[in-house]
Amino acid sequence: MIKEMKEDYDVEEKDAGVDVKCGLLRWSYFSRMQPESGSGDLGCGNQCWWKKRGNDVQEGTGADSGGDTAGKNKLAYFFPLTGDNMQYGEMLMRGSELAVELFNKENGTDYITEFNDDKGDATEAVNVANKIVSDSSVIAGLGSYASSCAMAAAPIFESNKLLLVSPAASHTDFPGMGEFMFSCVMSQKYEGSEFAKELYKITGGKKLAIIYQNTDQGVLATDLFANEWENLGGEVVAKEAFITGSTKDFTPILSNVKNKGAEIIYASAAYNEASQIFIQAKSLDISAQLVGPGMCLKKELLDIVGDKADGALILSSIPYFSDNVEDTEGLDDKTRTFITAFKEKYGEVPDGFAAQAFDTTNILLDCIKKVGTDSEALRQEIASIREFNGVSGYNMAFNESKEMIKGIYVYELKDGDFVRVDQ
C-alpha cells in the first residue's frame, strides 16, 4: 500500500517546484522570487525567474562525444510558474533542477538551468520561445506543461533547428510539428487507447459515460478514449462537456449520465474538478465506477475528497510516490534514490510530473554526454532511443514517429489514500 505522510517543510530561497504540504502550495515563496512590477528583471527578462550558474562547463565528456558547439551550456525551460497550472509547473521545475544538479555532480559538468514562466498561455509561450532561441548558449528548450504552449512554441524552435523536448505535452500532433520536437510523455493518441484497454480489462467493458473539459485537448482525449472503448466492444452512453474553471455544480451532468444507465463514469479532468465530480456523484447515490486520469494522482485530490471517493480508480502513465521512503516495495534503486534526493532538497515527496521532468532532463543529458551539444546530433540520438526505464515509468521508448510509449499504472482510492492495483 502506498501512503503519504502530511509533513511540514521549510523551503530555502534557491529554486522552486510541486506536490505540496498537505496539497497546499507555498504561494508566498514564489512571491519572494518574482520581481516587482517595473523593477527590471532577474537577468533574462521578466519571463525568466532565475538561473543556476556554474563555472567552466564540460560538455560531451564521453569518449564518443560528438561535435560540441562552443559556449553552449544552458538548458532553457518554460513552464507555468504562475496562474492556474502553477502547481504542475512547480513540480516540473523541481524535477528538472534536481536532474541537472545530480548529473553535474556525477559527471563533473556544470550545466546551467534557466526557468521561464509561460503562465500557461500560448501567446506567452511564443514570447519565451523567441527569447530562448535568441540565446546562443542554449543547448535545447524543454517545456511546457500545457500542450497548447509547447505547440505554440514548436515552429520557433523548428525554424531555428533547436531541440524542443517536452516532459508533459501529450497532444497527438506535437511530435509531428517538426524534426526537432520530442515529447517524453505518452501522447493522448496512445494514452487514451491504453487507458481504455486497461479500464476495459478491469471492468469488463460496461456502459461508459465521459465527463470532459471543453477544450481542444479535452475533446481530443475524449474522442480517442471513446473510440477505443467502442472498438473493444464497449458502449459509450454519454459524453458530457464542462467549462474548466466555471463549472462547479456537476449534478445536472451526473443526473443525466445516471439516467442513461452509465455503469462507469470517466472524469477526464484535473484533480480539482474531478474531485467535485467524485464527491457529487457519491452524494447522488450514483453506484457507477468512478474513474479519473493521471492529473488526479495528487495529494491535493486526497485533501479534498478524504474517504468520500473510496473505490474510484485513477489511470496514469506516471506513478505516485509515497512520502514514506521506506514504503517503496517494488521500486528500483534509481527511483528510491530520486525520492530520497528530492525529499532532502525540497522537504517533500515528488509527484509524477517531477519524475517526468527528471527523466526528460536525464534523457537529454545522457544524449549530450554521448554526442555533444550539436542540435542535429542530439536530434538523431534522442530519436534512436528504444528502451529507457526511468523514475517516471517503465518500458519507455520512442517509436518511429517520435512518440513516447510506456506502461500504465492503476490506483484505487481507499481510506483516503492511493493504493496501487495489481495488474
Q: Is it the case that residue 205 has pLDDT exceeding 70?
A: yes
Q: Is it the case that residue 61 has pLDDT exceeding 70?
A: no
| Whole-structure pTM value | 0.69
Q: Is it the case that residue 122 has pLDDT exceeding 70?
A: yes
pLDDT tens-digit series, residues 123-171: 999 999 999 999 999 999 999 999 999 999 999 999 999 999 999 998 8
pLDDT tens-digit series, residues 367-395: 999 999 999 999 999 999 888 888 998 77
User: For the residues 23-32, what does the mean pLDDT come to?
Assistant: 28
Q: What mean pLDDT is reported for the chain?
A: 82
311 bridge partner residues: none
What pLDDT does residue 344 have? 94
Distance CA(153)–CA(174), nearest Å, equals: 10
Cell digits for 82?
A: 504562475
Q: Is it the case that residue 18 has pLDDT exceeding 80?
A: no
pLDDT band at 69 (very low <50, low <70, confident <90, very high): low
Q: Is it the case that residue 27 has pLDDT exceeding 80?
A: no
CATH topology of domain 189-316+409-420: Rossmann fold (3.40.50)
Distance CA(408)–CA(201), nearest Å, equals: 13
pLDDT band at 241 (very low <50, low <70, confident <90, very high): very high
User: For the residues 248-254, what does the mean pLDDT come to?
Assistant: 96
What pLDDT does residue 423 have? 65
pLDDT band at 65 (very low <50, low <70, confident <90, very high): very low
Cell digits for 331?
A: 521500486
Q: Is it the case that residue 236 has pLDDT exceeding 50?
A: yes
In terms of Cα–Cα distance, which of 231, 162, 163 is closest to 194?
Answer: 231
Q: Is it the case that residue 41 has pLDDT exceeding 70?
A: no
Q: Do domains 21-186+332-392 and 189-316+409-420 have the same CATH topology?
A: yes
**Three-class DSSP labels, the chain:** CCCCCCCCCCCCCCCCCCCCHHHCCCHHHHHHHCCCCCCCCCCCCCCEEEEECCCCCCCCCCCCCCCCCCCCCEEEEEECCCCCCHHHHHHHHHHHHHHHHHHHHHHCCCCEEEEEECCCCHHHHHHHHHHHHCCCCEEEEEECCCHHHHHHHHHHHHHCCCCEEECCCCCCCHHHHCCCEEECCECHHHHHHHHHHHHHHHHCCCEEEEEEECCHHHHHHHHHHHHHHHHCCCEEEEEEEECCCCCCCCHHHHHHHHHCCCCEEEEECCHHHHHHHHHHHHHCCCCCEEEECHHHCCHHHHHHHCCCCCCCEEEECCCCCCCCCCCCCCCCHHHHHHHHHHHHHHCCCCCHHHHHHHHHHHHHHHHHHHHCCCHHHHHHHHHCCCCECCCCCCCEEECCCCCEECCCEEEEEECCEEEECCC
pLDDT tens-digit series, residues 299-312: 889 999 999 999 99
Q: How buried is 249 (Cβ within 10 angstroms: 0-12 exposed, 13-18 middle, 19+ buried)? A: exposed
What pLDDT does residue 21 have? 29
Is 184 in contact with 165 (CB distance < 8 Å)? yes
Q: Would you list the domain boundaries of the chain?
A: 21-186+332-392, 189-316+409-420
What pLDDT does residue 324 have? 58
Cis peptide upstream of residue 144 (ω within 30 degrees of 0): yes
Q: Is it the case that residue 16 has pLDDT exceeding 60?
A: no
In terms of Cα–Cα distance, which of 188, 154, 136 is closest to 78?
Answer: 154
Q: Is it the case that residue 331 has pLDDT exceeding 90?
A: no
Q: How buried is 9 (Cβ within 10 angstroms: 0-12 exposed, 13-18 middle, 19+ buried)? A: exposed
Bigger pLDDT: 24 or 348? Answer: 348
pLDDT tens-digit series, residues 389-421: 889 987 788 888 888 888 888 999 999 889 888
In terms of Cα–Cα distance, which of 242, 306, 298 is closest to 268?
Answer: 242
pLDDT band at 229 (very low <50, low <70, confident <90, very high): very high
pLDDT band at 186 (very low <50, low <70, confident <90, very high): confident
User: For the residues 80-96, what does the mean pLDDT come to?
Assistant: 95
Is 189 in contact with 228 (CB distance < 8 Å)? no
Residue 214 sits at φ, ψ, to 5 deg, of -80, 65
CATH 3.40.50.2300 matches 21-186+332-392: yes
CA 25 centroid distance within chain: 17
Distance CA(278)–CA(290), nearest Å, equals: 7
What pLDDT does residue 395 have? 77
